[in-house]
Structure 1
Amino acid sequence: IEMRWLLDRAWLVLYAGSYLAGGAILHLSFRRADDPIIRQQLKWLRNGVFAGVLPFVALYAAPFVLGLVPTPAMRLSVLFLALVPLAWAYSILRYRLMDVDIIFQQGYVYLLATIAVLGIVSLLVLSLARRDELSPTAVVLLVLVAGFVFEPLRNWIQQQLDRYVFYKDRYDYRVTLVGFARELSSEMDLDRSLRGVGERLVNTLQVSHVAFFLADEEGSGFHLHSTLDREGHPRTLNFSALDLSFLSTPGQRPYLFFESTRRAIDVVSREMPASVRTTIAELDLTYYLPCVFRGRTLAWMGVSRTAKGDFLSSDDVELLQTLSGYVAMAIENARLYSSLAAKAEQVERLKEFSENIVESINVGILAADLEDRVESWNSRIERLTGVPRHAAVGRKLSDLFPAEMALHFDRLRADNKVHQLYKIPLRHNAVNGNGDSGRETLVNLAIAPLVTKDGQRIGRLVIIDDVTERDELERRLVQADKLSSIGLLAAGVAHEVNTPLAVISTYAQMLAKQVHGDEQKSKLLDKIAKQTFRASEIVNSLLNFSRTSSTDFTDLELNRVLRETLSLLEHQFEKAGVRVEADLAEPLPAIRGNAGKLQQVFLNLFLNARDAMSDVSGGTLRVTTVVNGPSVQVEIRDTGPGIARDHLDRIFDPFFTTKTARKGTGLGLSVTYGIVEEHGGSIEADSRPGEGAVFRLEFPAVRKTVHA
């Protein structure tokens, strides 16, 4: 009896001491906790333990241990123990101690694992031949087997129960959710990333809806980015003016929890403004988890209760906390990618804008590095040189331009000043090896250093301006000015010379009649008359050259004027051994002009060709007409000895001639030039020694009136 009494007191000490120790642990945990929810939970658990155990220890356990016989009044103190489960039940319902199911799940796992290990040990014991005599070595081995088998067996049982009992169809989602979160950072589309996270959360945790709140660009707060319902569709809110000021830096709290979002009795939201409480009620989200990356809160992830109205377990919350870190990383990557894409697009747009400017400029532009290798080559310089961009970039300037121009580049290579070079000849396609047969253009060069914004020289810029047409226009202006001045002079000279020529001619004829019988004097007087007549022709030519009177222009057919002019000279061509080839385009648009003056133009050109080919015993005169856009072009080509290059610039000057004495006055081409200009046309000559000469005339065609 005394042993039983002693064991009862020892059991009571163990029972009461265990409860008191548990209460002390809860009290210490309460003092260390910062989260208000956890403090409320621990407070009710601690108060329940002390409210139930302390009266029982003071009124019953302590007197009994000290040797007092329990009285009926002492036995009534056992009723205080009912406060322990009552307080715990209230805490579970009031402060979300819903992890009890986790405790039970772990208990099931450990129970089944223990039973399985005992079964294994029992089978091993039964397999022994002599069960009543187990050696110490056998016992140690059995204990080691049980210790090594227990943990793997418990994990396997946990996995099977999670798959087939606890989570069932949600198990695969939970397993793949973290793997999906790890791969989330590789997705650059933020909308698609967050939608994928929301759909996975809804399917995994069976919650009603989720939402994502992203930080504003100016960092002043957060805004609602998207919200998804149970079906994965965007959720419509009835209240648009959301007050999200409660989403601030998380601080010491791992997440925000609102127990009753529809009622203002929650511990956390009780002291918040009315607009915030209205927002919390409208969103109806129980959990708000910060998505933190490198100390910055980039977003908040909101999750509601489950579809059945239950809170999430601690495992689920821990899963959300893990996921929030990956979501923050994905948001940061997406924003960086978006920012990089925007900057790349801006750079590309600026580059394209700059290239458009360079391409739109009507001058050739190239940029070369310090080694004179081309880095930029616009389309205008492609047309000037005949070298495409892909063939020019990376090559040296000396490989792309003629030797004469390359010498200028080398001479000015080390100079940091801007240099201008004028009227430098450049042959088209010179780089391809056929420069001798390419057309030659005159260009102005501007060579300037290429520097960075810091003033550091990184190469040089070469600007090439084609001035061929400008030079031709200047030449024509000089020619026209020259003709105008000489025309005025010629008109004055002609009028002054005509009078004495008429007097000399009249008196010479009178003297000839008086010395009719004197043959020697008659010959002298005849020579005087002929030279007077020649001088008169020269004077008339000067008058024609200087004549500025208006001319009647009509629509005429140029082919007809050419045929009539050729027919007039047909006999002279045959006599000189010149073969005529006429390739006249039909039909040819009409031009505005004077047939008589145009016939004079073609007569001068045909006679010059005849005279040139008569020196080489004949040749071929080829006359061609073509339509060249809005103009009509005439080409007159002969096979004579040609015109020297140094004479080409002077052939339209008055009194300039390469013919022998008494074969020309040097006014024919000058008059021709003036008549062509009077018709609004142009004339140019080209020749290579030994290959004949070619004259190209161009006249504007008559525009036909279109009647409606």
Structure 2
Amino acid sequence: MNEKHSRIPLPAAPMEGVDESTWMDVIQKMDEVYTRLIDDEVELEKKNAELEQSQQFIFSVLTSMSDVLVVCDANGLIEQANAALCELAGRPEDQLRGTQLYALLADASSVALARAAMDKADAPRAGEAIELNLLDRQGQAVSVDANCTPRIGGNGRRVGTVWVGRPTAELKRAYHEMRAAHEALKRTQQQLLHSEKMASLGQLVAGVAHELNNPISFVLGNVHALRKYCDRLQTYITAVHAHAHAHEPEPVLQALRQMLRIEHLMGDLPSLIEGTLEGAQRTADIVHGLKRFSAMDPEERKPVNLIEVIERAIHWVQKGRATPVEVRWQPGGQCMVMGSAGQLQQVMMNLLQNGFDAVGHSPSPRVWVSVEVADGQVRVALRDNGPGIAPEHLLRIFDPFFTTKPVGKGTGLGLSISYGIVEQHGGRLSARNAAGGGAEFLLELPQA
């Protein structure tokens, strides 16, 4: 700076009325102005660099966007488009700039929607979502979930529109794949539920065999007796016909009647038929109960009497035990809930089976079952006098495949599936250690 100042020549001869000090003041002011000019130039270069960095940043953001972006003026002419749109349309930005946005749309419906959005005077500042179809580089329609946002100028008026869109073809494909996976998961869950039910049913085979043995024995014994009675009746009827043709005297037929015990036979026939029908009906009831429990449950929910469900569960689990377990249960009247009778019976059988297994080595095994209704909720409590649940197991007792039983004695799915069934019924299943010892499971369901 001093070198530049040295170039400023001093006047060869002092001007009249101007001394040297005045010239020095002028030179100093010129130096200050020049310095300010230099500083302004440096600041301007700095601002230009910052502006260039900002433009580069905005350009890099627009380039890296996977969503398409279009900036239009008030007439719908494209002012700027990002790389994603250029890639989708197969045209560079300089070709798109100045063309109508409507030329990029694939159908009249999309054109009408876009025109209505850009012509709307009271468009929301946050934008509105519109589904449009764009033309890709092959001329095929591509579905785009677009957001139309008004662009406001410095005077506060709308000067154009900003469109940001995301092609939804990939999203729709992912959605369909997710839906198919969800359906497959539901089918797997149903199969798992049915498999666990079959495992529970397998534990009841011994009790069912014993239960079926009695009525089948009735039927078989009565059928054997009926066959012998039929033989006697056939012999007697043949003799009656023979004596009728031969005009045999009545004493001969009377002797034959006594020998074949026809009176006893005729008196015994009604009870034999009644016993056979009873045994057959009991067998049919048992088989029907097994079929109802083992069948795949429908999705719809119906009113279910929970008292009957509990009684059936107690009956079946008791029949499957080699050693009896005392069940303290006071059945009441009807207690209706909405749900699936088969699934709720499966829950009760799982809880009872766990309770029976827990008291297997107790000197006096006992299980208590109680039901109470309060505030529109049905509360079933099932308690045993076993050793209870270890504290470290309480948090995991409903986890899938968690079991404390030996290998081959349990799948670890019963309580987990029961928990899921109760949740599907809008209820709650919990476990704790009872104050008097043993484990207690609490089942809560909304009253129908």
Same topology, TM > 0.5: no
TM-score w.r.t. length of structure 1: 0.24
Which has the greater radius of gyration?
1
